[in-house]
C-alpha cells in the first residue's frame, strides 16, 4: 500500500509518480471543444479572463523575434498570443500526449477548429514529455537559449516532491539566456490556505469549483512539515479534476534564486486585473477577447463564483540574472 512506501525517499518518488500519471491522464482525456461547447461553459468568462491575463503577460514581455519555451503548453491555446507578439521560434512541451496532438493540429491549421486562420509565422517544435523530471537542457541543447520561458497554470504540478520542483527551475534556468524572462500563472497558496483555515471542513468551494485536502494542514503543521508534496484535489467545472500541490510562494522565490532566477513581480489575479485593466490597450484587449460585456470596464460579466476562482491564482515574472565578470 502507498502509505507504507510513502516515507522512504524511494517510495516517495513512486508515490508521486502515480499522481503524475493521474495528472497526465486527466489532461490527455480532455478533448477539444467546439466553439458552441466552449461558449456554453459555466466558466466561459473565467476562461476568457485567464486568456486575457496570459495575453497581458505575453504583451508585456515578448519581443519580435524571441525564442519561446512554453512548459506544459497544453493544447496550444497560447499559440495565437505568441503569434501576435511576432516571436521567431516556439518550443512547446506537455506531458499529456492527447494535448500535444491537439497542439500540433492547431499549429498545422485544423480546418475544423474555431480559430480558422492563416498558418503561424514562426517555426515550432512540439514535444511530449515530463518538464519536471526530464533534463530539458539535454533534449533542447540545439534549441537553447530562449528569450522567454512561459509556464501557464501548470507549475504547481512540479511541487509534488522537492526533486521535481528543483528540476523545473533548473530546466528554466539552464534554457533561458541571461536577462531572459520567466512568466507564469499558478494557484496562490496564500489564498487557498486562508480559505482552508476559514472552512469548517477539509473541503470548500462554490458552484464551479471545490478543493479538498486529505489531511488537516493547520498553520502549525504547514510550518513544521515539508513545503513539498502538500496535495489537494482540485475540481473546476468543465476544466480540471485532478491532484495538485501547494506552492508556498516565499519558498518558491528562494528556490528560484538558487537557480539565478530573481523575482520581478508576483500579483494575485485580482490585483493583476485591477492594475492592468486601468490601461486602455488592455481594456480593448479584454473586450476583444469577449471577457467584458458591452461598455463595461470591470469584471462584471464573470459570475461572482467565477471571480472567486480567479482569486485562487497568481501571476509571476522572474528574470534570469546576468552574470557580470570583472575585467
Q: How far apart are CA 59 and CA 46, in angstroms?
A: 20
* Residue 326 CB, nearest approach to ligand SAM (Å): 39
Nearest CB to ligand SAM, comparing residues 136 and 277: 136
- Cβ 280 to ligand SAM, closest distance in Å? 26
Rule CB under 6 A: say whether 12 interacts with ligand SAM.
no
Q: What angle, rounded to 10 degrees, do the helices at 249-258 and 162-175 form?
A: 50
Helix residue spans in 176-311 (DSSP H): 189-198, 219-224, 249-258, 269-276, 280-289, 304-310
Q: Which stretch binds ligand SAM (CB under 6 A): 18-26, 33-41, 283-291, 301-309?
A: 18-26
Among 157, 209, 272, 313, which residue sits at the site for ligand SAM (rule: CB under 6 A)? 157
* CB atoms inside a 10 Å sphere around CB 36: 8
Compare residues 23 and 69 and give the one whose CB is closer to ligand SAM. 23
Span from 72-80, 141-149, 210-218, 292-300 in contact with ligand SAM (CB under 6 A): 72-80
Q: Is 55 in the site for ligand SAM (CB under 6 A)?
A: no
Rule CB under 6 A: is residue 152 a binding residue for ligand SAM?
Answer: yes
299 contributes a contact to ligand SAM by CB under 6 A:
no
Cβ atoms of residues 105 and 70 within 8 Å: no
The residue (of 102 and 147) whose beta carbon lies closer to ligand SAM is 102
Q: Considering the rule CB under 6 A, would residue 153 count as an interface residue with ligand SAM?
A: yes
Distance between CA atoms of 244 and 212, rounded to whole angstroms? 10
DSSP for residue 34: P
Contact string 76-115 vs ligand SAM (x = CB under 6 A):
-x---------------xxxx--x----------------
Closest by Cα among 268, 277, 271, 280 to 301: 277
Question: Shortest CA distance to 3 belongs to which of 301, 280, 215?
Answer: 215
Nearest to 106 by CA among 128, 129, 124: 124
The kind and range of the H/E element at 273 are helix 269-276
- The beta strand positions in 260-311, using DSSP E, are 261-268
Looking at beta carbons only, is 72 or 277 nearer to ligand SAM?
A: 72
Nearer to ligand SAM, 37 or 298 (CB): 37
CA distances from 250 to 120, 195, 240, 263, 319 (A): 38, 18, 26, 10, 16
Nearest residue to 130 (alpha-carbon basis) of 104, 157, 152: 157
By CB under 6 A, residue 228 contacts ligand SAM: no
| Residue 23 cell numbers, joined | 495528472
The reply on whether position 169 binds ligand SAM by CB under 6 A is: no
Tell me how far, at minimum, the Cβ of 220 lies from ligand SAM, in Å.
30
Instruction: From 21-29, 33-41, 205-213, 280-288, give the range in contact with ligand SAM by CB under 6 A.
Output: 21-29
CA distance 303 to 314: 19
Check if the beta carbon of residue 181 is closer than 8 Å to that of residue 318: yes
* C-beta nearest to ligand SAM: residue: 74
Q: Which stretch binds ligand SAM (CB under 6 A): 33-41, 152-160, 289-297, 307-315?
A: 152-160
> How many residues bind ligand SAM, per CB under 6 A?
20
Q: Which is nearer to ligand SAM, 168 or 256 (CB)?
A: 168
Distance (Å, rounded) from C-alpha 210 to C-alpha 32? 23
Positions that interact with ligand SAM (CB under 6 A): 20, 23-24, 27, 72-74, 77, 93-96, 99, 130-132, 152-154, 157
Amino acid at each position: 500500500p502507498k502509505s507504507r512506501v510513502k516515507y522512504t525517499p524511494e517510495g516517495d518518488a513512486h508515490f508521486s509518480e502515480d499522481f503524475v500519471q493521474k495528472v497526465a491522464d486527466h489532461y490527455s482525456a480532455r478533448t477539444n471543444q467546439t466553439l458552441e461547447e466552449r461558449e456554453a461553459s459555466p466558466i466561459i468568462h473565467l476562461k476568457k479572463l485567464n486568456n486575457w491575463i496570459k495575453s497581458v503577460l505575453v504583451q508585456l514581455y515578448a519581443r519580435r523575434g524571441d525564442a519561446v519555451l512554453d512548459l506544459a503548453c497544453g493544447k496550444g491555446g497560447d499559440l495565437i498570443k505568441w503569434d501576435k507578439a511576432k516571436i521567431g521560434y516556439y518550443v512547446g512541451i506537455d506531458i499529456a500526449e492527447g494535448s500535444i496532438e491537439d497542439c500540433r493540429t492547431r499549429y498545422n491549421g485544423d480546418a475544423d477548429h474555431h480559430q480558422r486562420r492563416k498558418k503561424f509565422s514562426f517555426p515550432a517544435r512540439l514535444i511530449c514529455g515530463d518538464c519536471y523530471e526530464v533534463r530539458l537542457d539535454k533534449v533542447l541543447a540545439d534549441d537553447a537559449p530562449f528569450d522567454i520561458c512561459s509556464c501557464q497554470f501548470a507549475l504547481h504540478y512540479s511541487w509534488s516532491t522537492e526533486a521535481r520542483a528543483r528540476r523545473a527551475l533548473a530546466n528554466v534556468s539552464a534554457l533561458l539566456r541571461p536577462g531572459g524572462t520567466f512568466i507564469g500563472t499558478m494557484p496562490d497558496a496564500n489564498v487557498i490556505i486562508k480559505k482552508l483555515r476559514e472552512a469548517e471542513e477539509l473541503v470548500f468551494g462554490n458552484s464551479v469549483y471545490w478543493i479538498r485536502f486529505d489531511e488537516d494542514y493547520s498553520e502549525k503543521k504547514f510550518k513544521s512539515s515539508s513545503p513539498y508534496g502538500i496535495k489537494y484535489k482540485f475540481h473546476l467545472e468543465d476544466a480540471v479534476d485532478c491532484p495538485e500541490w501547494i506552492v508556498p510562494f516565499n519558498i518558491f522565490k528562494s528556490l528560484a534564486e538558487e537557480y539565478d532566477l530573481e523575482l520581478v513581480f508576483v500579483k494575485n489575479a485580482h490585483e493583476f486585473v485591477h492594475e492592468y485593466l486601468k490601461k486602455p490597450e488592455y481594456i480593448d484587449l479584454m473586450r476583444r477577447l469577449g471577457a467584458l460585456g458591452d461598455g463595461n470596464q470591470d469584471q462584471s460579466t464573470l459570475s461572482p463564483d467565477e471571480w472567486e476562482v480567479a482569486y485562487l491564482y497568481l501571476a509571476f515574472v522572474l528574470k534570469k540574472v546576468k552574470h557580470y565578470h570583472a575585467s
